[in-house]
Structure 1
Amino acid sequence: MTTIDPAMAPRAPAPDVRDNVMAIASGKGGVGKTWFAITLSHALSKRGQNVLLFDGDLGLANIDIQLGLMPDHDLGSVVAGKLTLNQAANRYDMGGFDVIAGRSGSGSLANIPPSRLQLVAEDLGLLARDYDRVILDLGAGVEKAVRQLAAAAQTILVVTSDEPTALTDAYAFIKINCIERPQTDIRIVVNAANSTREGERTYSTLLKACQGFLRISPPLAGVVRRDTRVRESIRNQTPLLTRYPNSEAALDVEALADRLLAE
């Protein structure tokens, strides 16, 4: 890990972001990022928020799969110029929020030209005016398309687990974002922790790396405990807060949502 001197870091153009857009990111796949984005959207909706969940995983979109949706429209139609972003929004009645689905089972959106992706990000900022909260589920990794969409969000929740590769890749995402957009509000979510205390220890490991090499201290947004019912709810394509509302993971995400709304 190399030290970044923020004074020497290149600055990206200041994006036109809205403070109600929150991106969910992870350095690597398999840490539960999309499940967390869905569950957080549901928790916020339950608290009276008008929520839009946007599937920004351009290569491996799967929000519709996890929710058992068969949307009439998706992001592919928007990119093709057939629909506006607003027209691509689908109501998910079970969760009480809107979804703009990606194109699952196809990598066709992974190669969107940067100029077209920029237009989508700008349209998302405009559409965000109609919602209390917009949750943007990013693709895993640090590719340019991921970073370009991330620029639409004022706050980024970086989801990680206690696996060394997950921590290393989460750090890599934070490092690059620190270079390109040092003003971003980055927070950490530790998912699938064996206990709250162990999750806090995992966060401490990542925090020390960020403080030591990047000179930043991203706060802990929350710890979500490991829960076998998460896998069961995904397998049944039903939100955890509907199927197992009193499970440990459900209670943890709801507590996190309460903290976000208390700010």
Structure 2
Amino acid sequence: MTSSSDAVPTLAPRPSERQKGRNIIAIASGKGGVGKTWFAITTTHALARKGQRALLFDGDLGLANVDIQLGLMPRADLGSVVAGKMTLNQAIMRYEPGGFDVLAGRSGSGSLANIPPSRLQILADDLALMAQKYDRVILDLGAGVEKSVRHLARAAGTIIVVTSDEPTSLTDAYAFIKVTAMERAGVDVRVVINAANSTREGERTYQTLQKACQGFLKINPPLLGIVRRDMRVREAIRNQTPILTRHPNAEAAADVEAIADRLLKL
């Protein structure tokens, strides 16, 4: 019989962490190129289709590209907010085809990556206040484990780490989970495997990451879902159209909708 002291804890949220930013879901990845922003957009769209008042917040302070993937030309962005020219509420725009709101980042610019911690804290506090108007806020973080990424992630009650089966992606996802667990013990961290060749392959990829977390960190971040590889994803991105609009019956679209259903139960 296994004693309670031998059990591997999950990263289930403590009451205080659950209360903090309970409707803010941060989408993170250890490295770029794993489909994090596409997943953030599609998840927001899926939640909106399920009747949720949803906001997609582009928190990639270095290389924001939500507006590019959606084909938007925002009149204002996060850079305007940080510069003090307007508030977060004033910078929000409606994405009518998807039925959700968007706060765009500053595309193609690294100028926001070096925001002072004090300004980041104000931004996070303003985000938490603004989130009260929505059922769900999806926060698309920058890739990596830089201080600016981790600081903004603290506004979220749930963090989804997106990874693929590439060894570097898994290594960097593990690094993000490690740093997050050290800084915020008890925060709700979950894993999504993207671009899996099959559900079975995705499960094997997750098990590789899970074993590393159990063996070295003594934690067990649960699997939130697997998104199968689908060539229609790339085609939709090229056409700057959400996959749930362009190819609503695609396998990848169905996988994200299933993940959105699970998020609604958290």
Per-residue deviation at 1:15? Answer: 11
- Normalised to the residue count of structure 1, the TM-score between the two structures is 0.94
**Contact map agreement 1:17 1:152 (CA 8 A) in 2:** yes
Which stretch shifts more, 188-197 or 104-113?
A: 104-113
Q: Unaligned stretches of 5+ in structure 2?
A: 1-8, 10-16
d(CA) in 1 for partners of 2:166, 2:91: 36
1:128 to 125, 131, 139: 131
- Residue identity in the other structure for 1:72: R
Pairing 1:41–2:44 present: yes
AA at the equivalent of 1:219: P
Structure 1 unaligned residues grouped into runs of 5+ = 1-5, 7-13
Aligned equivalent of 1:95, options 94, 98, 105: 98
Note the C-alpha offset of 1:195: 0.3
Distance between the aligned counterparts of 1:102 and 1:15, measured in 2? Answer: 27
Aligned to 1:209: 212
Deviation at 1:259, TM superposition (A): 1.4
Q: Report the count of equivalent residues.
A: 252
Deviations 1:154-203 (A, max 9, x none): 10000000000000000000000010001210000000000011001100
What is the RMSD of the two structures over their aligned residues, measured on CA atoms?
1.5
1:191 is the counterpart of 2:201: no
Residues 211-254 of structure 1, C-alpha deviations (whole Å, 9 max, x = no match):
11111111000000000000000000000000000000000000
**What residue in structure 1 maps to residue 12 of structure 2?**
none
Q: Is the 8 A contact 2:159 2:190 kept in 1?
A: yes
2:44 and 2:64 map into 1 onto residues whose CA distance is 17
For residue 162 of structure 2, give the secondary structure of its aligned residue in structure 1: strand
| Mapping for residues 153-172 of structure 1, pairs under 5 Å | 153-172=156-175
- What's the counterpart of residue 76 of structure 1? 79
Q: CA deviation at 1:17?
A: 2.7
Match of 2:234 in 1: 231
Paired position in structure 2 for 1:259: 262
Render the CA deviation track for 1:59-92: whole Å, top value 9, x for unaligned.
0000000000000110011001111111111100
Q: Against the structure 1 CA distance between its residues 15 and 44, is the aligned structure 2 distance closer, same or farther, given a 3 Å change threshold?
A: closer
Residue matched to 2:251: 248
Q: CA deviation at 1:16?
A: 8.1
